[in-house]
Chains A and B, each alone.
Chain A
Amino acid sequence: SAVISQKPSRDICQRGTSLTIQCQVDSQVTMMFWYRQQPGQSLTLIATANQGSEATYESGFVIDKFPISRPNLTFSTLTVSNMSPEDSSIYLCSVPGTGGGYTFGSGTRLTVV
């Protein structure tokens, strides 16, 4: 399966600032996905990152808050904008696995103070 490198692994940010999370895959993939996992909760899909076009956002998530870039088939970024403490979560990227299922990055643990 693909190997995902996600950066940073964790960060503590001031409210009102923005953080960009990077997801690098060791092989070309058509589809990349961004998830959020709030403390003690399950994962929620934020958006699908499409190469060459705008990301497709799920209900409750908007581009102004979570802009996504997908410049090529191995890389994507998710920005959490104008952060508030409610944005404190783990953010994960995911790609289709070669042996079935989907492969997830190790996540970015974000704390907003």
Chain B
Amino acid sequence: LAKTTQPISMDSYEGQEVNITCSHNNIATNDYITWYQQFPSQGPRFIIQGYKTKVTNEVASLFIPADRKSSTLSLPRVSLSDTAVYYCLVVNGSNTGKLIFGQGTTLQVKP
């Protein structure tokens, strides 16, 4: 499975848009990208997934360029409650359930 690299930490302020970029240079043709959010003392929560171009849901947007070697999670107008660790994962399309978590990005939203 492709290894992912993302910033260890990011700071933002309430109301701002936050973009977290993840690199996955060795992504395979049948891999897709997925993002999870984890609050302290909770299990990770699925946010969004995509294969290419742009995906949007009620929580976030995911931008994937044509070469798919990176992806950007965009959180619009963050609030204090968005303070969490965000994980970028590359998942094999055979959907074996084997998730490889990297170190994640700790997002701190300030008032």
Contacts and interface: CB of A to CB of B under 8 A. Distances in A.
Interface of A: 1, 31, 33, 35, 42-45, 48, 58, 92, 94, 96-97, 99-107, 109
A84 to B, nearest CB: 23
B99 A45 contact: yes
A103 B46 contact: yes
Nearest to B32: A100
Interface string B64-85: 0000000000000000000000
Majority SS of interface residues in chain A? strand
B101 A106 contact: no
A57 B107 CA distance: 32
B54 interface: no
Interface in B44-65: 44-49
B87 A101 contact: no
Interface in B17-55: 34, 36, 41-49
Contact of A45 (B47, B95, B98): B98
B97 interface: yes
A82 B48 CA distance: 39
A45 B1 CA distance: 14
B85 to A, nearest CB: 8
